[in-house]
Amino acid sequence: MTVSPKELRDELNDFIRSCRATFDRKSAPLSLGERINLSTTLDTLRVITRQAGWGRSPFYFTDELASTLNTARTLRELIGKSTIRNVKATPPSYGTTQTAQLLQRGIAYYDLADFLVMLVEGIPPDKVIDVADLQLSLVDDEEPQEPELIQGRLAHIVPAQKISPVRFTVLNGLLAIAHTPAEPVAEDRSGTLSARSSLIERGKEILGELRASNCDRRFLSELTALQDNLESSYDIVQLGIINLACDDQHKAFEAELSTAIATKLRSHLTSISMYLAQFPEWQKFVENAAAVELNEEDVRRSQSIVHQLASDFEGRPDAVDPEVPRTLRMISDAVSDPAQAGRRLSFALIRTVENLCISLIETVSKFSQETITKSSKMGSFALATTFSAFILKYTGALTALSDGVPGMGWLKSALEIMMKSV
């Protein structure tokens, strides 16, 4: 059985979501210990699968596959035991039908776990490699690294940019924002476009009333950004994040607004939330955010990195488009309180940092490749050198962030390679 790294990750993550949906329900009479074991196993599996198949490599990694397989086997065994115990311990009030449903559900999830084990066991041996082959040896500190080796390792390790409120690109020799069209569900495209037109008109009306009031200027600026994004028909995840930030601020400033305006604004923000639900990219972002556990320290660290990089970027208009630092600050400011921030806002901030690192490191890797082919220009050399300096300046903070956030393990390896090449 041959599957791609993406297919494996998708299969495992779908399995995790299905298990959580079932075993978090109180109707399944699992003991507290069984619930804890299932939760721990699923979290372990989630972390492993998010890091499996790093980058664009068509291979799997030995350690990750071994961990995935062991965790899958543990899960299969636990589900099997829980199913039998649940049926034996089913209270009389359940009745025959409920007991049969419980047994059927347990068997279905045991079969899923069994399929998962076979899926991993069936990966061809020639598709499995040791991750150490793609990393630098920490023993040979004095051994110089060839450009071919550096470029090759970075190309294997660095993933493609991920679903996030912000993606980056290099345009005309400058780091810039890569705006992506907002694509709704194809089946209801006309309805979604009609809803967007109505939201735009309602937004203009509300902004007009707020400008004539004593509304807080910062809140008005945030709502204006929401309207601009809605009218642009680009960057649907960014629209969702701004809408969440506006909703948080609306609660803080609602007392300053008239009842009529406050009601209109509340309805408008809710309508935008319903509009967002028509976009697969937003739905996927929400699912990803729900699957990741973040702590306050990671969020604060991300905010610090973003603000410092924004300041650095503002001082280098020769290398960075001015829209980049403005957008970075906007995403960071959406998290008003890291201790109380919701998962989506926190995840948006961290994913933005990750995409920025991916873009910067990709440029450095590309320069290495151009050096190999002897086709690099002075401009690309200067840009790659600048980007390398940007990211290496924050090696310590980025390494700590990659250690704490699932799916960012690639960053630590990439930074090690870059440090060795300096």
Q: What residue segments make up the domains of the chain, in order of their start?
A: 5-131, 137-180+286-421, 190-278
pLDDT digits (tens, 9 = 90+) for 294-330: 888 889 999 999 999 999 999 999 999 999 999 999 9
pLDDT digits (tens, 9 = 90+) for 229-241: 999 989 999 999 9
What's the pLDDT band for 32 if we cut at 50, 70, 90? Answer: low
Contact yes or no for 180/345 (Cβ under 8 A): no
Contact yes or no for 23/31 (Cβ under 8 A): no
Q: How far is Cα 74 from Cα 45, in angstroms, rounded to an integer?
A: 10
Count other C-beta atoms under 10 Å from residue 239's C-beta. Answer: 24
What's the pLDDT band for 26 if we cut at 50, 70, 90? Answer: very low
pLDDT digits (tens, 9 = 90+) for 123-175: 665 555 544 443 333 333 344 445 555 566 777 788 889 999 999 999 988 99
Q: How far is Cα 198 from Cα 124, in angstroms, rounded to an integer?
A: 53
The number of C-alpha atoms within 13 Å of 197 and in the hemisphere containing its C-beta is 6
Q: How far is Cα 298 from Cα 304, in angstroms, rounded to an integer?
A: 10
Tell me what pLDDT residue 15 has. 66
pLDDT at 411 over 70: yes
Share of the chain above pLDDT 90, in %: 31
CATH architecture label of 5-131? Up-down Bundle (1.20)
Burial 343-378 (b: 16+ CB within 10 A, else e): ebbbbbbbbbbbbbbbbbbbbbbbbbbbbeeeebee
Q: At what angle do helices 236-253 and 259-276 cross, to 10 degrees?
A: 160
**Average pLDDT of the residues in 95-113:** 54
Q: How far is Cα 401 from Cα 354, in angstroms, rounded to an integer?
A: 10
Q: How far is Cα 213 from Cα 210, in angstroms, rounded to an integer?
A: 5
